[in-house]
Amino acid sequence: MKTVKELYHQKVLVLGLAKSGTAAAEMLHELGAFVTVNDSKPFEENTQAQELLKQGMTVICGSHPENLLDEGFSLIVKNPGIPYNNPVLQEAIKREIPIWTEIELAYRISEAPMIGITGSNGKTTTTTLLCEMLEKGPLEPLVAGNIGTVATTVAKDATKNNVIVTELSSFQLMGTVKLKPSIAIITNIYEAHLDYHTDLDEYIEAKLAIAKNQTEQDLLIYNAEQPLLAQRVKSLNATPVPFFVSSRQSEGISADAEWVYWKGEALYKRDEIRLPGKHNLENVLAATAAALLVGAPLEQIRATVASFAGVKHRTQYAGEWQGRLFYNDSKATNALATKSALEGFSRPVILLAGGKERNHSFDELIPYLPTIKAICHFGETAPRLQQFAELHNVQAYSFPTLTAAFEKSIELSEPNDVLLLSPASASWDQYESFEIRGDEFLRLFKDLETKG
């Protein structure tokens, strides 16, 4: 672990706890900073704050006092989920107090090189794929960020024999100053999180921050088939490594209907890839490029793409029963995500959909309706899904629960069908999270297997 001398005996405010805030506070304390923690959760209910108090930090809980910044802080490390319109942060900006997120601290203390992965979709799949590809490479991979251990905790013990593979959100990237991954990946950029960001341009700038400090010695892997992204990366200094999913190209990594190519030379066959869909091909190409650049053996890369069945709840292959294929895509909480899942299937699909009503349009699904044999829908959005299906002459059935919808999907199905849970809706009407919803689908499939 590197020592960050500029933090020694500096007053630092950690705003918001959870996992990342707690890890940041502990690391700052270890580096010799005078740490104050402020969290909205009351102290008597806040076990993390209680533990930090025992370690000698100042703890303020239950509110954000108006005079909080009068202590003369030289730095704020904020939880990524706290938006910049927060009054404390707005006042900090007026006072020109630097604002970091925990990932900036992790980068500064790490002795290991970092691969940073961002994008609107595909971050988790690409991160997981890449870590598996690197398992037999020259550097031992450590996963960090949104899908793994908090980055600061990973970076503390990482050495030059490791490489930290980090999934990075736009929320995290907005709070970076010196972050400079040796390899950065931008899977794609779509309009998203505009309830957090001021506008689309701010969102794009946050994503591009992953590469803002890169030099020609660093590498930027990006989706070259998105014109807006391809144009914006031209202003960056990193060595570009484009990927193309639609045709063979002489630069970067690309694919056509038959092969995946590295700089125009055949690498492995498309049919070796187990993950379905164009969106997953983006993830596979990005991960393959990074793995090759780090020095992973091609045999390990091919073995990974051939065996990788998907990240849990993200077009996850659950298994086969009497010729029917089952996929859990509970993470699809909007129509755009469900569209991406449907793109991957040429077989007839029975779609299980529905959930929390947020009045999102389902029009993204229209081009893929010919592949849908029936929709079995449930939850608050069931009435609108029924109307949508009837408008487009798709067979549809309404149920109060996922269990009932699942049972009907079995009744309707035939060998060669795909039974896909891809709700196009949030889970909060009936489930605390999309993970719990996906776990129920997986349990229903296991029960089906048991019955034979």
pLDDT band at residue 360, thresholds of 50, 70 and 90? confident
**Which token pair is 345?**
């299937």
| % the chain with pLDDT above 70 | 98
β-bridge mates for residue 317, sequence order: 327
pLDDT band at residue 359, thresholds of 50, 70 and 90? confident
Residues belonging to the chain: 452
Burial grade of 199 (CB within 10 A; 0-12, 13-18, 19 or more): exposed
Nearest to 422 by CA among 287, 318, 302: 318
pLDDT in tens, 284-293: 999 999 999 9
pLDDT of 307 over the 80 cut: yes
Give pLDDT, residue 366.
97
State the Cα–Cα distance between residues 341 and 163, nearest whole angstrom. Answer: 31
| % the chain with pLDDT above 90 | 84
For the CA atoms of 330, 334, 340, 345, the dihedral, rounded to the nearest 10 degrees, stands at 60
State the Cα–Cα distance between residues 301 and 132, nearest whole angstrom. Answer: 8
Spell out a b/e string for 235-266, using b for 16 or more CB atoms within 10 Å of the CB, else e: ebebebbbbbbeebbeebbbbeeebbbbeeee
Residue 354's identity, in one-letter code, is G
Place of tokens 């993830």: 283
pLDDT in tens, 101-125: 999 999 999 999 999 999 988 898 9
Give pLDDT, residue 120.
86
State the Cα–Cα distance between residues 409 and 421, nearest whole angstrom. Answer: 10
Query: The whole model's pTM is what?
Result: 0.82
pLDDT of 22 over the 80 cut: yes
pLDDT in tens, 52-105: 999 999 999 999 898 999 999 999 999 998 989 899 999 999 999 999 999 999
Give pLDDT, residue 193.
57
pLDDT in tens, 240-271: 999 999 999 999 999 999 999 999 999 999 99
pLDDT of 364 over the 60 cut: yes
Mention every residue, 6+ apart, whose C-beta is less than 8 A from residue 104. Answer: 77, 175, 176, 177, 178, 179
pLDDT band at residue 195, thresholds of 50, 70 and 90? low
Give pLDDT, residue 147.
77
Give pLDDT, residue 190.
80
pLDDT of 297 over the 80 cut: yes
pLDDT in tens, 407-433: 999 999 999 999 999 999 999 999 999
State the Cα–Cα distance between residues 420 and 402, nearest whole angstrom. Answer: 12
Element (H, E) at 381: none
Domains of the chain: 6-97 (3.40.50.720), 104-307 (3.40.1190.10), 316-451 (3.90.190.20)
Please count the helices (runs of H) and the strands (runs of E) in the chain: 15, 20
Give pLDDT, residue 349.
98
Q: Report, as an integer, the average pLDDT of 220-235.
A: 95
